[in-house]
Structure 1
Amino acid sequence: MPDPFGRAIRDHHLGDRDEPLVDRDGDETRDHAIERWYFGEFDGDDWLESYLDGPLLDMGAGVGRDALYFQELFETVAIEVSDHLVTTMRERGVEDARRADMFALPESFERDRFRSAYARGTQVQLAGSMAGVREFLSDLARVTTPDATAVFDGYAPELDATEEVFAYREDPAPGLAWRVYHEVYEGEVGETLVFRLFSGDRLREATVGTPWEVVEVRYPGSDEPTQWVAALEKA
């Protein structure tokens, strides 16, 4: 399967990238900000760390920016679906980087394996539907301990500023929207990415029937944030 995203980021890591990674939504394009989004320093966050403990599962870990920080505090397993990114994480010093799909966790990990889970980068919204989110939460419950915690983020369709986000699509249902785009690098075209955007309240609804409970939702960033960050605990 083509992987322009992973290949471009790996080329950037190696100093071999001569062309931009382009996000494309029809005729609209933008250059993906690889250096700023993946290779900056992560200095920790007291609020975030209050909800996380080891063993930690870092899902959609990119090039391991956050995993490099957390592995100094406790056991951290970083997963990605791209072989290019897994290799890059290992070269950057991530001690336990693995190829695994966050939407098929029971295939890769045993029951009760992790004390907490973490996904920053809006990857949870790639579940594609609210039923997919609920299935993801149920699978995550299987591979985490009875007292586990989790922290996710996502784009916030309940906020007006989010309408200006690249590749945004409205939905008439309250608290829901879409993002749809694909990526191109050196002529290689990636699969279409379909993000089901949902609000913090919609996330609370999705936890019904799972062991999870949303205990806090924050809107970090500027005066006009476009994303939420949610902390969950096993109920």
Structure 2
Amino acid sequence: MGDPFGRAVRDHSRGERDEPLIQRDGEETREHPIEQFYFTEFTAESDPGRWLESYLDGPLLDLGAGAGRHALYFQEKFETVALEVSENLVATMRDRGVADARDGDMFALRETFERDRFRSALAIGTQLGLAGSMDGLRRFLSDLAHVTAPDGTAVVDCYDPGRIEEGDLLGYRPDPTPGQAARVMTFEYEDELGETLLFRLFGPDRIREAAVGTDWRVADVYYGDEGPHYRAALDKA
């Protein structure tokens, strides 16, 4: 399977991108804002940045690390391991100076890292939705608990279906289950179409529900504005 998303980010980083990265749901398309999402420098000077940093400590596992925006900041403070399933993104992070960028699957953590390896974990980019179901979310949280210390913390993000209005998200699919919905989309770059991605959208209460029995609890939820995107801070119950 090709990697149009990873290639587009890599080409952008190298100054070689001439075509847009497109999000597609059937005939509906939107341009994905690569520079804004992956190449603006992260700092802890803003309210969202301060909130995020307050829940993280090292060693840190950065899951779905993209182009290394967060890893570049946090590796200056403590050991940071940046994990990505795309070889193009791993190469991009290394080119940009991420010290420990690795090719790996955030949904196979037990096979990748030993127990209690990290003090905290970060999964920003709504990849949490690729867990696919409530059962998948529980498995992910259980595996994440396994590779983080007994006093570990984590920050994840998602879209809250209860705050989504029509037209907010390309590929949005409503669901009758409270606090759940779906998003279906594909990335396209230079006429290459990637695999169809199915994201399950979980509201904060669904994350609380999935965390039961995994050692995690939802310690705080940060919206930042009136939109549907939020971040959830987890700690060990």
Match of 1:62 among 57, 63, 66: 66
1:90-111 Cα shifts (integer Å, max 9, x gaps)? 1100000000100001121111
2:150 aligned with 1:126: no
Q: Report 1:43-192 matches (<5 A).
A: 43-44=43-44, 45-161=49-165, 164-192=168-196
Q: Which runs of 5+ in 2 are unaligned?
A: none
The correspondence of residues 3-18 of structure 1 with structure 2, limited to 5 A, is 3-18=3-18
Instruction: Kindly tell me the number of residue pairs found equivalent between the two proteins.
Output: 233
**Cross-structure match for 1:23:** 23
The one-letter code of the counterpart of 2:68 is G
TM score, norm. by length of structure 2: 0.96
How many angstroms apart in 1 are the aligned matches of 2:122 and 2:17?
29
Structure 1 range deviating more: 142-151 or 152-161:
152-161
On the 8 A contact 1:52/1:150 being kept in 2, the answer is yes
Query: SS where residue 9 of structure 2 aligns?
Result: helix
Q: Give the letter for the 2:206 counterpart.
A: R
**Aligned residue identity for 1:6:** G
Root mean square deviation of aligned Cα: 1.1
Contact 1:61 1:67 in 2 (8 A): yes
Which residue of structure 2 aligns with residue 226 of structure 1? Answer: 228
1:101 match: secondary structure: coil
Q: How far apart in 1 are the matches of 2:98 and 2:223?
A: 29
1:41 maps to what in 2? 41
Distance 1:72 1:162 in 2: 41
For 1:23 and 1:151, the matched residues in 2 are separated by: 25
Which segments of 5 or more consecutive residues in structure 1 lack a partner in the other structure? none
By how many angstroms is 1:131 displaced?
Answer: 0.5
- How many angstroms apart in 2 are the aligned matches of 1:218 and 1:41? 20
State whether residues 164 and 227 of structure 2, in contact with CA within 8 Å, keep that contact through their aligned partners in structure 1: no
Structure 1 residue runs of 4 or more that deviate by more than 6 Å after TM superposition: none
Q: TM-score, normalised by structure 1?
A: 0.96
1:216 is matched with which residue: 199, 216, 220?
220
CA distance in 2, matches of 1:86, 1:162: 35
Structure 1 residues 161 and 73, CA gap change in structure 2 (3 angstroms): farther
Would you say the 8 A contact 2:65–2:83 is kept in 1? yes
Residue 218 to residue 83, structure 1, CA distance change in 2 (3 Å): same
Shift of 1:66: 0.8
